[in-house]
Amino acid sequence: MKHLFYFLIITISFYSCKNETTSKDIKEDKELKELFSLMQGSFNSEVQSQVDSSYYNISLHMYPIWEEKGNFLYVEQALNRMQDRPYRQRIYEVTRISDSTFSSAVYKLDVDSLWIGKWKTPKAFDSISLRDIALKEGCEVILKRIAPKHFVGETGDNTCVSTMRGASFARSEVEILEDKIMSWDRGFDAEGNYVWGAEKGAYIFNKLD
């Protein structure tokens, strides 16, 4: 009888731990899915540009691709009036890196011009694979969930190499909410002097859909 008692205790403890782990895993999946969902859609900074003329009206499109491979987004940015000539095209990969942090890694495409406007037809990316894109090492944004549907993050201080307009590195600060994404991208020279990017603060991209 004593052996049966101990067996029952061990069995209950095992299933209790298993259920706790399962619940935690489900919670983690939900947070990652929440972040990935918040990042999807079409956005622009029209409202901000109307309030402050030092900000341009920029369009931002982020749509999921390769859904069977993980959490990948095709990202396209352009002046709103010149959407056929985007100035930035990237692929982001969103993953969890710890209990409290997430990563949005950045990849470059081989030939940007082939993919202009393909956010409208994400299945087009099925014709390429991870072998056809290049990771921008050190440019990942590390994000933390600070409240439901609210994430904040940034790149390393000088880890993201950038040679645009004489810069040596770039920094990005990002805030993601249910109805908007705020992004402050800036370039700095080797001495840490500001070279390019918004001077006052982040661009505010309001979600359109």
Q: Tens digit of pLDDT for each residue in 109-126?
A: 999 999 999 999 999 999
| Amino acid 12: pLDDT | 44
Q: Above pLDDT 70, what percent of the chain?
A: 87
Query: What integer pLDDT is reported at residue 26 of this predicted model?
Result: 45
List of domains in the chain: 2-207 (2.40.128.590)
Cα separation, 131 vs 167, in Å, equals: 28
CB atoms within 10 A of CB 191: 6
Query: Does the predicted model carry a pTM greater than 0.95?
Result: no
Using a 10 angstrom Cβ sphere, with 0-12 exposed, 13-18 middle and 19 or more buried, the burial of residue 62 is buried
Displacement of CA 39 from its chain's centroid (Å): 6
Q: How far apart are the first and last CA of the chain?
A: 64
Per-residue pLDDT reduced to its tens digit, 40-81: 999 999 999 999 999 999 999 999 999 999 999 999 999 999
Q: Which residue has the tokens 């918040």?
A: 38
pLDDT at 89 over 90: yes
Is the Cα dihedral 29, 141, 115, 86 positive or negative?
positive
